[in-house]
Amino acid sequence: MTQADYMPRTEAEFVHWGGNLVSKLPNFAQTLGITNDQIAILTQELDDLRAKIGEATTVKTSLQSLTQLKNETYHRARKHARDISVIAKRNDNYTQAVGEDLGIEAPETPLAKGNPDAAPIFFITSMTDMVRLDWVKEDNDGVVIESKRGTEAAWTRLDKDTISPYEDSRANLQAGVPEKRIYRMRYVVDDKEIGYWSGEQFAIVLIENKSPSA
């Protein structure tokens, strides 16, 4: 008999294991000195955990769906705007002045990159193996991304990203324990940070360490 106790590491395994535990504990409770109140508390906590897992799954699915719909809407809007631009330019009544007024003629002098007053806009999608950050590039070179997770008080620089989306696939600090991750971004132009930090956004994350390939 070993003195070390066993407990599954993942949520799914723990819920299944816990269900077996509370169903059989009454048979051994008096012998092992376990009270009915202790069993009832664990049973309720397992029920709550199952409910929260279900809620988290629903939220993840909803976020993924919303992000996909947002991307599809954005691409449809760009296509329709381009179609209108093409139709307008093919019309005999079209003039460059009209095009400039509509904003569909490219400026003769390229606009300066970056906006010193800008702050990035980004969207979070929490998945089972990563957190995906879709961000709007506009006329900047990229963004720097920082995060805090768990009980961390200081921001951690994750990376500089030049192509959206950015994928954060770090495993949780504590295996099997959901953690809160907070993110913020700032634009970069010519390797220099410009503008303001974005608003903070967060996700509740449960990412396990990937098992090494056999």
Query: In the chain, where are the structural domains located?
Result: 1-110, 111-209
The mean pLDDT values, 10 residues at a time, for the chain of 214 residues are 70 85 91 92 91 78 72 78 87 88 74 76 89 90 95 94 94 89 94 91 86 50
pLDDT of residue 55: 82
pLDDT of residue 214: 40
Q: Do residues 67 and 125 lie in contact, with contact meaning Cβ atoms separated by under 8 Å? A: yes
Phi, psi (rounded to 5 degrees) for 131? -110, 125
Helix, strand and coil content of the chain, in percent to the nearest 5, comes to 40, 20, 40
pLDDT of residue 110: 56
Q: Hey, what CATH topology would domain 111-209 get?
A: Immunoglobulin-like (2.60.40)
pLDDT of residue 1: 54
